[in-house]
A and B are shown apart, each in its own frame.
Chain A
Amino acid sequence: MPKMQTALGRLNSTEALSEKNTCVHRLHPAVKTVITVIYILCVISYNRYQLNGLITLAVLPFIVMPLAEIPISAIVKRMLVALPFALLAAISNLIFDTKTVFFIKGFAVTFGMLAFGSVIIKTALTVTAVLLLVSTTPFTKLLAVVQAVHLPQVLIMQLTLTQRYIYVLVEEAQSTYTAYRLRAGNVKGVQIRDMGTLLGGLLLRSIHRAERIYNAMHCRGFKGEYPAQTIKKVSVTDIFTLVAALSVLAVLRFIPIAELLGKVLFF
């Protein structure tokens, strides 16, 4: 199960990144969430042939990354998971939308190509935005934001417990799998006929664990109240950053900078 190991490793390293202490990390989680959401809205608001605007928006992540001390490689590695899906979705554009828009040195650029590029860039930018948010904000603080907008307590508890026990569960799955491999002889992966036993065992163990956790909660007075994630107050810096970031986004979104620059440079 090396795949599970890598997945866990990645989760771990995202967590490690989110615990750094840079100006981006120190920003209020709600502010970061709002900026991320607006950024994503800006990105997806462009129509499928508007590449110029998208490219200007692409500058922002490259400003945030060094500020937050997040290595580009960390983002790229995780992005590779999302891109194949985008590629699949975008490729039909190349095939069906073959009307020419303009020529670059005799090479015909079609609408399909523009649309293809825009799907890929949109995916890359939205995924990057989310990745930057989660690698600069600890999961618990994000949950605090979710809680502040009054999502149900049960959901918050579910999410917290999931994040708490995912490592335990993966470790258990891992050791079950190792134990299986050691005695399964020369087979690759898990044989279908053994799958039921393995998964069943894992399920049973999870149920037992859930029971023990529930008991443990009761033994400390659990009455349905799970600790409310406390969220710090928004500071002046936070508000200033929010206003600044939103203004920059507004400028980038509504003033066609790329085109203006092009005009200034080439005409």
Chain B
Amino acid sequence: MLKLEQIAVTYPDGTAALNNITLHIQKGERTALLGANGAGKSTLLSVCTGIIQPDKGDVVLNGVKLTKQNRSTVWQQAGVVFQNPDDQLFCATVQEDIAFGAKNSGMNEEQTAQAVQTAVEKLEITHLLSRAPHKLSGGEKRRVAIASVLVTHPQILLLDEPTSFLDPRARREVIDVLANLPVTQLIATHDMDMALALCNRVIVLKKGSVFAQGLAKEILVDEQLMQSAGLELPLCCQKIQET
């Protein structure tokens, strides 16, 4: 589904953010992308969507290599939910924001309305349609942001810290939403418990390289591995160890 091959990214100021990243995401899988602050998670997601062009290596989406020419059409297949929903929701109303992508993908009025309807029903935000994005709560914003990406039926969803800034209930809601979405997902996160609850596979980054990857239930409970990647065990596993 999504393949990265020997990706290297260096920022203009000389920071080597990613080096020699190779990974595969299988169709229908939910994968967690873990790593300490500055490990390169956000950079990796930007590479997958063509926002950042890698200095080296290839991104292959559904068998098609990402190039300068097709970069502007990737968005229809790979939907990104940014870390800060305030960046993502740039229209005057929720309705327009969700319709934005649908219209740009060439749907007509009727199809757009239909797609918006389906998306808001899935995320249970029908009552927010006429509201202004700046008047929503954090959890509501996040759900609208997810809906705004889902309308175009992307085959893979890339999420950057979907549970940051959320209170426990809003976090729970977002997790439930993601659990019920039947699309391939790559979730960059610091929320180990969410990773354990949602994802079957994890990829651990450390200083711009893949440090470990494998099954969630094996890696997330490996205390030594997690510690050397600068991460902590999920809370639930910490408790087991204490007792």
Chain A residues within CB distance 8 Å of chain B: 15, 139-140, 143, 160-161, 163-165, 167-168, 209, 212-213, 215-223, 225-227, 229
Contacts and interface: CB of A to CB of B under 8 A. Distances in A.
A143 to B, nearest CB: 7
A216 B103 contact: no
Contacts of B51: 215, 218-219
Contact of B92 (A160, A213, A222, A223): A160
A177 to B, nearest CB: 19
Contacts of A216: 80, 82, 87-88, 90
A216 B103 CA distance: 15
Secondary structure type dominating chain B contacts = helix
A161 B92 CA distance: 8
Contacts of A221: 75-76, 100-101, 104-105, 152
Most buried by B among A209, A213, A227: A227
B104 A168 contact: no
B226 interface: no
Nearest to B85: A216
11 contacts: A161-B90, A164-B133, A164-B134, A165-B86, A215-B82, A216-B80, A219-B49, A220-B101, A221-B76, A222-B100, A225-B103
A223 B101 CA distance: 11
Contacts of A223: 72, 104
A20 to B, nearest CB: 14
A219 B75 CA distance: 5
Contacts of B149: 220
A167 B141 CA distance: 15
A237 to B, nearest CB: 21
Given A227-B96, A227-B99, A217 B90 contact: yes
Interface of B: 46, 49, 51, 72, 75-76, 79-80, 82, 84, 86-93, 96, 99-101, 103-105, 132-134, 148-149, 152
A163 B49 CA distance: 28
Nearest to A229: B92
Most buried by A among B79, B100, B101: B100
Contacts of B133: 164
B178 to A, nearest CB: 18
A220 B75 contact: yes
Given A167-B134, A220-B149, A227-B96, 18 more contacts: A15-B132, A139-B92, A140-B132, A143-B92, A160-B91, A160-B92, A163-B92, A164-B89, A164-B132, A164-B133, A168-B134, A213-B90, A216-B87, A218-B51, A220-B75, A220-B148, A222-B104, A225-B104
B140 to A, nearest CB: 15
A260 B77 CA distance: 74
Contacts of A222: 100, 104
Q: Which 10 A-B pairs have the closest CB atoms?
A: A221-B104, A220-B101, A212-B87, A227-B96, A140-B92, A216-B88, A167-B134, A219-B80, A219-B75, A215-B51
A226 B99 CA distance: 11
Given A167-B134, A219-B51, A219-B80, A209 B104 contact: no
Given A163-B92, A212-B82, A227 B87 contact: no
A157 B82 CA distance: 21
